[in-house]
A and B are shown apart, each in its own frame.
Chain A
Amino acid sequence: MPLNFKSNVIKFVRYSLIISATAIYLVPILYMLLGSFKPDDHVLSGIFNKLQYVAEHYSLQNFRDVFERVDFKRYLANSLIITGCVVFFGLVVNAMAGYALARFHWQGRKLTLTIILAIMIIPMEATAVPLFYQLSILGLRNTYVVQIIPFIANAFFIVLFYTYFLSLPKELEEAAYMDGASPWRTFLFIVLPNSKPVLASVAILSFLLQWGNYLWPLLMVSDENVRPLSLAISTFYTLPPLQWGDLFAFGVLMVLPVLIVFIVFQKWFVQGVVASSHKA
């Protein structure tokens, strides 16, 4: 009996700990969600304060305001186009490079690998200043291209592909080559279908990095027509009049599409993010 009692107490403590931690942790998200439905002058009033009043006056006005005050659909489309291109072309380019490094004999393979490991250390911030001026001189400010091309090749993703391909058994590929398949065919129809985990990890990591990219569009983009969501939320904040409810509505609209994808593919998100922590 005492043992049972003790384990129940431990259970109780554990659950209360985790539930209260979760509750505190979710406050900012609930604040945003509830605030997006509140009249602007009541957004600040705590989370649950005046809940009755708010329940009677909640509305979609903030969401309507967002679409009226700014071209939200444009920003969303921009983010989708930019992120989609970076993810897709990034997968192609980095997977090919990883494969060439993992499987083929060629002169300079080791040197290339060393260069890629060195480039992996350079943070994007360390290249931003000269890159900004060079690309501005080429007249590439305020374009999609300038938001896509610099982020396609990624040394870290190449290394992820490289180490994954090393771990694949090579017998299948050897058999394909013996049967006269070309390297491209083998890569496309034998290697890639067996590489779903690494493809998913890289796709999700590159999606998250690009979707949240702020510094680069801040420098390169002043034109609304190519402005991504990550930048648009901060320009919307500085757009008078300052209305908290509209900002929260913008935030909810911005998170919702990703949240749905996140809940559906949660397992892959976890795997991708864990892979990113092994950046060496």
Chain B
Amino acid sequence: MIQTLLPKHLVKTRTSVLMMIPAILLLIVFVGEPFILSIILSLTNLRLGSPLPMEFVGLQQYYEIFSDQAFQRAIVNNGIFALCVVPIQTVLALSLALLLNQKMYGRAMFRMLFFMPVIFPLSLVAVIWIIIFAPNPEGLFNDSLNALTLGHWQARDFLHNEYFALPAIMLTSIWQGVGFQMIVFLAALQAIPHQLYEAASIDGAKTWQQFWHITLPQLRYTVAYVVILTTILAFRLFDQVQIMTQGGPSNASTTIMFETVKSAFAQQQVAKAAAMTVVLFVIVLSLTGLQQKISKKVRI
């Protein structure tokens, strides 16, 4: 670490500080300060347009949000979303990466096609899938299910259905996210030393044995890493919910961030919204802690 620094006498301290100042100033003003303010606000009763004076009320906002049914539902929904999306997306992405790691014609093209949705803004992806889930019998999703069940499917309005709204958002998210994961897995697969496989084939190991005893162990930290990253994203879920379902019907697809935005901007309950973002931060923080534990193991 020390030897990467340049010798002291070569550069004046003033220059190095000048190079650092714009970034650190912007980070403090636009991340650090509002974040601390968020924590402070969450301990008050601030509500815009309320006649009550602002005062500190301790943890009252936290009691309130955790007894708020919509917020409880939001946390559960984020959890269900993570529990379903993360394993499905990871298994799909890993299978694709394994398939596309083989020598085959058009490999680069296939990779590109799966990676393409990464450049689609989530808001556009949400709108595309709204049209796919169109309630009409000729809507693509309804029509496909009808074809699969040989005409036994009754067209329904997935996004306004208590049981289908959240799964519909999950499917949308998996579609957008799987290419990203696949690319990360491919990079990791290509980093596995060839010698391991060569040695294994000399010892007569079959393909699935090689997968089980070489590929998976070599990939385990990448997988763990990506799983946690996807889980963090699952708890930050907002765009698709806002555009596709507005959290409905009757909170069936609401999320922590959707409730936050609703409290802060529709209901002007600033303190309550701040408390929700602090809860989100604590979740993200614990997941990041887990991630760092893993990344330390990677280096060893």
Residues in B neighbouring A21, C-beta threshold 8 A: 96, 99
For B184, the closest partner residue in chain A by CB is A277
CB pair A273 B118 closer than 8 Å: yes
Pairwise interchain contact A237-B243, C-beta atoms closer than 8 A: yes
Which range contains the number of B residues in contact with the other chain? 35 or more
Q: Chain A residues near B81 (CB, 8 Å)?
A: none
Contact between B118 and A119 (Cβ–Cβ < 8 Å)?
A: no
| Chain B residues near A214 (CB-CB < 8 A) | 121-123, 238-239, 242
Q: Is the beta-carbon distance between A126 and B124 smaller than 8 angstroms?
A: no
Residues of B within 8 A of A17 (CB): 99
In the complex, the answer to whether A127 meets B38 with C-beta atoms within 8 Å is: yes
| CB-based contact B280/A247 at 8 Å | no
Q: Is the CB of A208 within 8 A of B119?
A: yes
Bound complex: CA A277 to CA B119 (Å): 16
Q: Answer yes or no: B31 CB below 8 A from chain A CBs.
A: yes
Q: Are B131 and A22 in contact (CB under 8 A)?
A: no
> Are B280 and A125 interface neighbours, CB within 8 A?
yes
* A83 shortest CB reach to chain B, Å: 11
How many Å lie between the Cα of A133 and that of B4 in the bound state? 43
Asked if A200 is at the interface (CB within 8 A of a chain B CB), the reply is: no
User: Does B52 reach chain A (CB closer than 8 Å)?
Assistant: no
Bound complex: CA A173 to CA B5 (Å):
11
Bound: A233/B15 CA distance, A? 45
Who on chain B is nearest to A19 by CB? B110
Contact between B23 and A266 (Cβ–Cβ < 8 Å)? no
Interface-forming stretch among B54-62, B159-167, B208-216, B285-293? Answer: B285-293
The verdict on A37 contacting chain B, using a C-beta distance below 8 Å, is no
Collect the chain A residues with CB atoms within 8 Å of residue B265's CB. 132, 219
CB of B120 within 8 Å of the partner chain:
yes
| Chain A interface extent, by class | 35 or more
Answer whether residue A82 sits at the interface, using C-beta atoms and an 8 A cutoff: no
Chain B interface, >50% SS class? helix
A14 to chain B, nearest CB (A): 7
Known A-B contacts A150-B30, A255-B124; A106 and B104 likewise in contact (beta carbons under 8 Å): no
| CB of B16 within 8 Å of the partner chain | yes
A234 to B241, CA, bound (A): 12
B74 adjacent to chain A (CB < 8 Å): no
List chain A positions with a Cβ less than 8 A from chain B: 11, 14-15, 17-18, 21-22, 25-29, 31-32, 35, 43-47, 49, 93-94, 96-97, 99-107, 109, 112, 115-116, 119, 121-123, 125-134, 149-150, 152-153, 155, 158, 166, 170, 173-174, 177-178, 182-184, 187, 208, 211-212, 214-215, 218-219, 229-231, 233-234, 237, 244, 247-248, 251, 254-255, 258-259, 262-263, 266, 269-270, 273-274, 277-280
Extra A-B contacts (13), CB below 8 Å, given A14-B102, A183-B12: A18-B110, A32-B128, A116-B27, A123-B232, A123-B280, A129-B274, A130-B38, A132-B265, A183-B16, A230-B124, A231-B123, A259-B119, A269-B118
Q: What are 23 inter-chain pairs, A to B, with CB distance below 8 A? A: A22-B113, A22-B114, A25-B175, A29-B116, A31-B132, A32-B128, A46-B140, A93-B22, A93-B26, A94-B23, A104-B16, A125-B277, A126-B278, A127-B35, A129-B260, A152-B26, A153-B25, A153-B27, A174-B7, A229-B121, A237-B243, A248-B131, A280-B292
Enumerate chain B interface residues (CB-CB to A < 8 A).
4-8, 10-13, 15-17, 19-20, 22-27, 30-32, 34-35, 37-38, 41, 96, 99-100, 102, 104, 110, 112-124, 126-132, 134, 136, 138-140, 143, 175, 178, 180, 183-184, 187, 225-226, 229, 232, 236, 238-239, 242-243, 257, 260-261, 264-265, 270, 273-274, 277-278, 280-281, 284-285, 288, 291-292, 295
